[in-house]
Structure 1
Amino acid sequence: MDPEPRFRTVDELVVSDPVLGTPGMTVAEAAALMTERRKGYVAVPAGAGRFGVVTDQILRERVLAAGRSAQTPLSEIMVPVARTVLTGTPTAEVLEELLEHRLHYLLVVDPEGTLRGAVDPQDFLASPSAAGLLLRARLDRADDLDQVAALGHRLPALLADLARERRDPAEVTAVYATLIDAVQRRVLALVLGADPGLDLADLTWLVLGSNARREAAPSSDIDSAVVFADSVTPERAVCYRRAFVQVNEALAAAGLTVDRHGATPVNPRFARTRSEWREAAEQWLVSPLDDQGMLMASLLLDGRAVDGHAEPVVQEVFAGVREHPHTLRLLIRESLTNRAQLRRIGTVDIKAHALRPIVEIARWAALSVHSPALSTRARLTAASGSMLMPTEQADTLTEVFEVLQRLRLRIQLQQRDRGEPASDVVRVRSLAPLDRSLLAQAVREIAGVQKRLGNLLAYTSAEEWTTQA
């Protein structure tokens, strides 16, 4: 149903054979090979589809700066297990991986584990995404909050440029989310760094919701939470929450909208120690109807760290939801309360009436197959072929989700051009005939999936879903 081209993949970025070395190859030999091939890396096979890697940066830091001999074998200096992506991976996901982990190179392997090549951030310079890379670098170097605010106000224009280049919605929103991450990361560092009594190492800052899934639009709020180290006392947590007020003010000054409903670390419910989060998640898993358990679990399961190193506690706990079929049934039933719908007259909320049902179905379907995937598309892919998510329906929802995301971005950028605030609520008759038709077809497809899930709830047990998942 999507009139736009499907995803571009990493295969299109791999234009030369891989540069391969051996563990016993010397630094001098590797440098000569890199020079000959005009590449900045050497990959070292490690068996079972794994590779070590040596890059220009590693040679500078671990050989030249450390005073090592040019005869040092690569086995002593290489990254022993390099990050890889599979052939066929959408370029949006490749860009996310490069930016998220600040990689200089990302190795590309096929399903059999054969190295096909490597990509680096420079491979994206031919696309509008390059502007996002440059803006992120400037955000990372910002000296004060005023500079962050000025750079943050450039995000909407960059988003518009990306969308107008007819990039895949997933790539557009991935770049946008990465920049929002960079704003939050720099603001947090500057605010906490200005107070000698606070230490960034005491916490992990989580972004929640659509920003965490890298699916945000201009209308999206910034939902966030904090995981404190267990050593942080309640009294010290109060000091941090005061600082988080300044963080929120700085984010607002940068043009970002902080959640108005309390999903922010200023709220003690969203700023807890690791042990407190684990205790709460275990309670939500057993009794999801208590203490807003379903709502809190939904928010935190769509969580991703943008600064800090705490493990995703709530995700760890809910990975065991298959062992709690009653809870899984309740969660799926709750997700079906957000019915896909489209009125012929009046207004429609594209997020609430179309996108949110897909997001929620994907979340619980992925958990039913024990998948840690975060983005909606990745969750649908993970759950595809399960009892909850037959392959055909997973493919349909994936396509519908991309159609809706493209439509949502286009509408909100048109609102921006007219000087209106970005909103998911639009008048049905204001939509172009083709957009109305696409939206109506999308809603019908979602409603069909919801109807099937409703029947599954009525006539099968949750134990059957997890057994066959």
Structure 2
Amino acid sequence: MEANHPELALISDFLANCLPFDSLDSVTLLELAEQFEIAYYRHGHRFSVADGEGLLLLRSGAVDQFGEEGISQRLESGESFILPPETQGVRFTAFEDSLIYHLPEDAFAALCARFRHVDRYFRSRRERRLRRAARYRVQADYYSRAVADVMSSPPLTVTPETSIFETAELMTAKRVSSVLVERDGQLLGIVTDRDLRSRVLAAGRNGEVTIISVMTQQPRTVALQANLFDAVLIMADKRVHHLPVVDEQGRACGMVTTSDIQLAREDDPLFFVQRIGRANSEEQLATMMQRLPEMFRQWVAADTQSHQIARLTTTISDAVTRRLIELAQLELGPAPAKFCWLGFGSQARGEQLLGGDQDNGLLIEDGLNESQKHWFEQLGKRVCDGLNACGYVYCPGGVMASTPEWRKELGEWRKTVDAWLRSPSSAAVMRVSIFFDLRSIYGEVSLCENLQIYMLSQTQKNSIFLASLAENVLSSTPPLGLFGRLLVERGGEHSRELDLKKRGILPIVEMTRLHALANGLAEVNTYARLHALAKMGVISLADSRNMEDAYTLINSIRLKQQARQLADGETPNHFLKPESLSRLQRQHLKQAFGIVRQAQDSVRLNYRSGI
């Protein structure tokens, strides 16, 4: 093939920047480019791809993939469409005008046969999508799980002639709470712990009597092919806690109990939060929170979007905080005045991940006496100690409701804000960067809203303060050197690693906060701020989307790194070795850092007069 065909060169150059084609030599890429067919779909066009139709590669635009549960992911430039075997009901819709390259099945099969690493790449993608689809279905509809997935099998059985005493011995030895009574494989009845208490002990029956005399005859059952929703409905309707599972011939093959259902829901985030709300001690909360790292790892493995994971971990953090406050009030008595527990920083933004420390405070209505102040001092200490026990370690800088500086009445908080704005020292700017991202976690929301409105009214008209804040924003530059090379940390524990948080995440968060404070925006979530700033015209829609994409990409890489660290038994952090990334991933990361650098240049221009 001649290399001077411009169309083929364009395709070849594009393939060189897409996984796994980036590992192929230029001659192979040109040969491959000749085999691709090109299709163009307008916005809103719907189409489907059957397994065995080859490979589709998105050249430009965006395409939404839909399954039986609705939209499952949005594909962007450089991503391929390859479906797992036996996929049902998958379709695509062009979210934007899209240009798509199609490699026919025979050419795709020949490519995989020729290059083992290409075959492994697409095979692993099939497997990952199968796992992800399964996990999405579990998360999206917990009750659609099959009864067979959660039942205990095989069930303990006895004959009608077995004595009550022998049955109780068997149940104790097998550590089960129920037994089925059968004859010749046919289910006759069921006996539970409750039956033994109410029908034997309470009734004074002789233990030598046969079990048939106390069993529940013809118990309600559920079919092996049924789902959990069917089982829960039956148990709720009949008010039973044990439900035999039977096959097509009516033979008992398992048992579903309320304990089985609860155990199956342990890793469901919503159920986990509900359990947190029912915890009766700090110790119980701390034990429950030991599950969070594994849940986090599972969310990442399921390709859950980074902002969704952040919202989940923040929701759990909020739930723990609220329950600790409730437990403290059970001991201290009701609050003597209206108050609001404030979350700062990443918790306030709904962007909290693993490994973070506490950032919180207490906002109390004006007019406290000494006795009331002492009550809130105790509350702050108990809750912060509890959070530390649950894995949210004490803030090294003391930004916690347990310290007087961060536990104040509304009027005192206003004076503190005034002092920070009048004298924007580096220490004051650091406090503001934490405090101005605030959210009510518990208590009187109106107190938090009152303080936030006051802060925004003061920051908008203070150009010197905004300039100081901008200077702080510009102090953390993205790790890019000459010719776009990635710059790693020099010296220290994380030498030759990238600091994804300090050099990538925080600059985006802080620049977005700066624009929000300068324009009186009440939103604190980074994505919400970017959308609002674009809507106001403070930044262009293109810049808003670029910042959002950069933030998502860097966060996604950080999450996957932390999941790997958890799997290896390490403490998750924000540092990454560049060599652990593929060439294409490094290129995307450089582009994200480049967007951060351009945004900082814009900040420098817009706030130069104040600086």
TM score, norm. by length of structure 1: 0.67
Q: Which moved more, 1:368-377 or 1:378-387?
A: 378-387
Q: CA deviation at 1:334?
A: 2.2
Alignment of 1:265-304 (within 5 A): 265-289=401-425, 292-304=427-439
Stretch deviating more after TM superposition (127-136 or 162-171): 127-136
Residue in 2 that maps onto 1:307: 442
Q: Distance in 2 between matches of 1:6 and 1:143?
A: 48
Conserved? CA contact 1:191–1:243, under 8 Å: yes
Q: After TM superposition, give the deviation of residue 432 of structure 1 in Å.
A: 4.2
Q: Show the counterpart of 1:366.
A: 516
- Aligned 8 A contact 2:362 2:380 in 1: no
Shift, 1:235, TM fit: 5.3
1:136 equivalenced with 2:151 (yes/no) = no
Alpha-carbon contact 1:365-1:380 (below 8 Å) kept:
no
Q: Which moved more, 1:179-188 or 1:247-256?
A: 247-256
Residue among 542, 549, 559 paired with 1:409: 559
Corresponding residue of 2:454: 317
Q: Which has the larger radius of gyration?
A: 2
Q: Which amino acid aligns with 1:307?
A: Y
Instruction: Tell me which amino acid in the other structure corresponds to 2:367.
Output: S
Does 1:240 pair with 2:384? no
Partner of 1:205: 341
**Separation of aligned partners in 2, 1:296 and 1:6:** 43
Would the aligned equivalents of 2:479 and 2:503 in 1 still touch at CA under 8 Å? Answer: yes
Determine the C-alpha separation between the residues in 1 that align with 2:310 and 2:538: 27
Q: Deviations over 1:348-368 (max 9, x none)?
A: 211101000000000111223
**Aligned partner of residue 259 in structure 1, secondary structure:** coil
Moved more, 321-330 or 364-373: 321-330
What is the CA distance between 1:277 and its match in structure 2? 0.7
> Hey, what's the Cα distance between the residues in 2 that align with 1:269 and 1:362?
27
Q: Which runs of 5+ in 2 are unaligned?
A: 1-16, 20-57, 72-94, 96-136, 143-264, 481-485, 489-495
| AA in 1 matched with 2:514 | W
**In structure 2, distance between residues paired with 1:456 and 1:251:** 40
Shift of 1:179: 0.7
**Equivalent position SS for 1:384:** helix
Higher mean C-alpha deviation, range 328-337 or range 432-441: 432-441
1:302 to partner: Cα distance: 0.9
- Contact 1:227–1:274 (CA under 8 A) maintained in structure 2: yes
- 2:314/2:353 contact within 8 Å kept: no
Alignment of 1:62-461 (within 5 A): 125-126=140-141, 131-196=268-333, 199=335, 202-234=338-370, 236-289=372-425, 292-309=427-444, 310-320=447-457, 321-342=459-480, 343-345=486-488, 346-384=496-534, 389-458=539-608
> In structure 1, what residue type is equivalent to 2:309?
V
Q: How far is 1:143 from its partner?
A: 1.6
CA distance in 1 between counterparts of 2:551 and 2:487 reads 21
AA in 2 matched with 1:126: D
Residue 319 of structure 1 aligns to a residue whose secondary structure is helix
Question: Any conservation in 1 of the 2:363–2:448 contact (CA below 8 Å)?
Answer: no
Unaligned runs of 5+ in 1: 15-87, 89-121, 463-469
Structure 2 counterpart of 1:440, one-letter code: K
CA separation in 1, counterparts of 2:287 and 2:527? 33
Tell me the secondary structure at the aligned position of residue 362 of structure 2.
strand
Measured against aligned partners, the alpha-carbon deviations of 1:156-178 in whole angstroms (never above 9, x if no partner) come to 22222222221221111111100
What is the alpha-carbon distance in structure 1 between the residues aligned to residue 606 and residue 403 of structure 2?
38
- The change in CA–CA distance for 1:125 and 1:387 in structure 2 (over 3 A counts) is closer
Seen in structure 2, the aligned counterparts of structure 1 residues 233 and 362 have a Cα distance that, compared at 3 Å, is: same
Structure number with higher strand proportion = 2
Contact 2:511 2:603 in 1 (8 A): no
CA distance in 1, matches of 2:464, 2:363: 28
* Equivalent residues of 2:297, 2:566 under 8 A apart: no
C-alpha displacement of 1:7:
9.6
User: Residues 131 and 318 (structure 1 numbering): CA distance in 2 closer, same or farther, change over 3 Å?
Assistant: same
1:247-295 C-alpha deviation (Å, 9 max, x unpaired): 22322222222322211111111111111111211332343338x3322
> Is contact 2:344-2:435 (8 Å) kept?
yes
Cα RMSD of the aligned pairs, angstroms, is: 3.3
Say which SS state the counterpart of residue 332 (structure 2) adopts. coil
Q: Mean Cα displacement is larger for which, 268-277 or 163-172?
A: 163-172
Q: Deviations over 1:357-380 (max 9, x none)?
A: 000000111223321111111111
> Offset at 1:234?
4.8
Equivalent residue number for residue 166 of structure 2: none
In 2: Cα distance, 1:6 partner to 1:137 partner: 36
Larger CA deviation: 418-427 vs 177-186: 418-427
1:299 shift after superposition: 1.4
C-alpha distance in structure 2 between counterparts of 1:334 and 1:156, whole Å? 33
Offset of residue 155 of structure 1: 1.8
Return the offset for 1:435: 3.6
Identity level (%): 22
Alignment of 1:29-68 (within 5 A): none
Q: Is contact 1:281–1:314 with CA below 8 Å preserved after alignment?
A: no
| Matched position secondary structure for 1:307 | strand
Counterpart of 2:473, as a letter, is S
Letter in structure 2 aligned against 1:302 = D
C-alpha change, 1:282 and 1:434, in structure 2 (3 Å) is: same
Whether contact under 8 Å (1:205, 1:225) holds in the other structure is yes
Shift of 1:126: 2.3
SS at match of 1:261: coil
- Look up the equivalent residue of 1:233 and give its one-letter code: N
Q: Which residue of 2 aligns with 1:34?
A: none
Bigger RCO of structures 1 and 2 (CA < 8 A, at least 6 apart) = 1
- Decide whether the 8 Å contact of 2:336 with 2:372 is kept in 1: no
Residues 335 and 361 in structure 1, CA contact (< 8 A), matched pair in contact too: yes
Partner Cα separation in structure 2 for residue 218 and residue 8 of structure 1: 30
Q: Which amino acid aligns with 1:301?
A: F
**Is the contact between residue 267 and residue 295 of structure 2 (CA under 8 Å) also seen in structure 1?**
no
CA distance 1:329–1:129, shift in 2 (3 Å): farther
Aligned pair count? 351
Give the match's secondary structure for 1:219: coil
Check conservation: 2:286, 2:390, Cα contact below 8 A: yes
> TM-score normalized by structure 2?
0.53
**CA shift for structure 1 position 183:** 0.6
Q: Secondary structure in 2 aligned to 1:312?
A: helix
Give the CA deviation at 1:124. Answer: 6.5
In the alignment, the residues of structure 2 paired with residue 209 and residue 157 of structure 1 have an alpha-carbon distance, to the nearest angstrom, of: 24
